[in-house]
A and B are shown apart, each in its own frame.
Chain A
């Protein structure tokens, strides 16, 4: 028995929702970051599954691009986290609310 793409979608959705929950509930910047990565991976999974199901290799190519963007994002994001930590001594995003209106 083969597993239809719908199941992969369900799994991806689950991962994505978990990722959202992580972003919204955790206040450690690093964990929030990883949650975002998780969401990106969920999306990657849908690309792969759909690409396979539709017989189109472009789905996999799209994953490459997502990967690159994720890598770039991580590089800059982590640099920011480090910079903030050096200045403020914390990675707790709740303490970084200077932009409050």
Chain B
């Protein structure tokens, strides 16, 4: 074991360096390689990072072992920001998710991006994305987290606007970046405060015992600042608007953004700074509230979406809400657990959706699908698993993690039981809309356009689907109420914290039962409603206002456009006018004034020497008088 720890200390930097090397290699040489090679190299880079991480993780698997830090080099020493890797259970879990799921997405992309003119460029971005996320999760100080944080934002910008010739894609990429920047604003303020009180950014000093430095108000303030950051990156209310638009990128990129990387960063940040949140009940409640509201709100919107990826996008937001509820209930392990399971099944869902879109000739409207299960059996059945997993049907992955969060929230009591209630409602809605999604796409009669020829995707794409489906089915076992393996594994990362544990005994069974019943009810209602055209139409008529509102996302984008962007643009316009008219006008006005004064004084310069002479003598006179007065 000790050898493996040494291995981890010595070689863990490879986890970041390998994808980075893939990025550098493909960046300079990728475009000269034959098509699949760039993708293969990128996949290998990511995969080997996974292998290294897996081997390095072995000593920690049993739990109870503390993290090690590996310093690489100085960055900004005066603020305690070094390039330093923290290899502890939390970062191990994140790293394995990012590299593992990431590798499968890489592999899948080799098939999906086949024939794209910028094939190799896509893989450079993908590798860079993985690198950035790994920097984020492996960082041992807030500044380095922020480095990864911004870098994933940048990569998401590059990937979302990958097809930049489409104005929609370019716009979506920019929107993602800018909205994320609003969250970053919170992050920066949080970091500024951390530095102001701790004098360093290093986890070693900040997170060990923040209660010895911070007072109640500032603990809350820093918590809220980090919450704002998480709201931006993890697409919570009110900054979730970028995520649905992020669909404009290639579908596997969406999978990467939504499942393994990027959006989970916010949850990770809160979990990582658990020691600070632990000090402030207020901050935790704010987190839980944001999460619960987002989960519910996004689930409602997801019900009305007709875009195959749109449903998934809002479901991501909704599931992220669950994770935020988890960390907001101080059940940090539960939140991370859901992050992991969600990473697996959401990657699966997106890749499946990509497979469908791919085979349908870039058709994304679910109203033009249906009955694809027969044409695409592998995709269809893996999607069935994923749907049941996200719906929370036991014993699939989603059930365990979701139940853990809800149970913890209920167990925390008081206000959190209200949060729990919202969670249950969301769970029912989730089961419903995901079933609707599955039924519309894979069951029923074909509603394809005449020129569509759906077919099963190539093996390079279905292999990741199968692997992920297996994962989605079984990954829940790592943390069941009977054997809290994952929680135990993570515990060293949350040692000094009052972790909220799930309920035990009878109550646990009751809560699990309620959730299960809710999920089954949702699935059943969804299946029954959408499997039958008549009932479907009746339902859609009955709930038409809700559904059409949900389809438009309840006009939130328009509201922001009108109430936020437009006033901002007007202010900017006004500033520019002010600048050219008033500020510069004043300068030019002054210049004009001088010129005018010159013109006014021009006649004095008559050109007659004798006139000047008069002035000369008069001046001399004045001088002499002055001398006399001074008494020389």
Contacts and interface: CB of A to CB of B under 8 A. Distances in A.
Interface of A: 20, 23-25, 27, 32, 93-94, 96-101
A50 to B, nearest CB: 15
B160 to A, nearest CB: 66
A14 to B, nearest CB: 16
B603 A93 contact: no
B117 interface: no
Given A20-B617, A24-B617, A100 B607 contact: yes
Contacts of A98: 607
A23 to B, nearest CB: 5
A23 B616 CA distance: 11
A96 B605 CA distance: 13
A99 B605 contact: yes
B629 interface: no
24 contacts: A20-B617, A23-B610, A23-B613, A24-B610, A24-B613, A24-B614, A24-B617, A25-B610, A27-B610, A93-B608, A93-B609, A94-B610, A97-B607, A98-B607, A99-B605, A99-B607, A100-B605, A100-B606, A100-B608, A101-B601, A101-B602, A101-B605, A101-B606, A101-B607
Interface in B585-632: 601-610, 613-614, 617
Contacts of B610: 23-25, 27, 32, 93-94
3 A-B pairs with least C-beta separation: A101-B605, A97-B607, A100-B607
B309 to A, nearest CB: 76
B369 to A, nearest CB: 86
A10 to B, nearest CB: 16
Given A24-B610, A24-B613, A98-B607, 19 more contacts: A24-B614, A24-B617, A32-B609, A93-B609, A93-B610, A94-B608, A94-B610, A96-B607, A96-B609, A97-B606, A97-B607, A100-B605, A100-B606, A100-B607, A100-B608, A101-B601, A101-B602, A101-B605, A101-B607
Contacts of A23: 610, 613
A46 to B, nearest CB: 14
Interface string B194-233: 0000000000000000000000000000000000000000
A27 B610 CA distance: 8
A32 B617 CA distance: 14
A24 B605 CA distance: 16
Nearest to B610: A24
- Residue in B601, B609, B613 with the greatest tally of chain A CB atoms within 10 Å: B609
Contacts of B606: 97, 100-101
Contacts of B604: 101
A101 B605 CA distance: 5
Nearest to A24: B613
A63 to B, nearest CB: 21
A99 B604 CA distance: 11
Contacts of B609: 32, 93, 96
A67 B617 CA distance: 22
A94 B607 CA distance: 8
A18 to B, nearest CB: 13
Nearest to B603: A101
Contacts of B603: 101
Nearest to B617: A20
Contacts of A94: 608, 610
Contacts of A24: 610, 613-614, 617
A19 B609 CA distance: 15
Contacts of A25: 610
Nearest to A99: B607
- Residue in A23, A96, A101 with the greatest tally of chain B CB atoms within 10 Å: A101
Contacts of A27: 610
A9 B603 CA distance: 38
B514 to A, nearest CB: 96
A5 to B, nearest CB: 17
Contacts of B613: 23-24
B614 A97 contact: no
B201 to A, nearest CB: 66
B257 to A, nearest CB: 72
A25 B605 CA distance: 18
B621 to A, nearest CB: 10
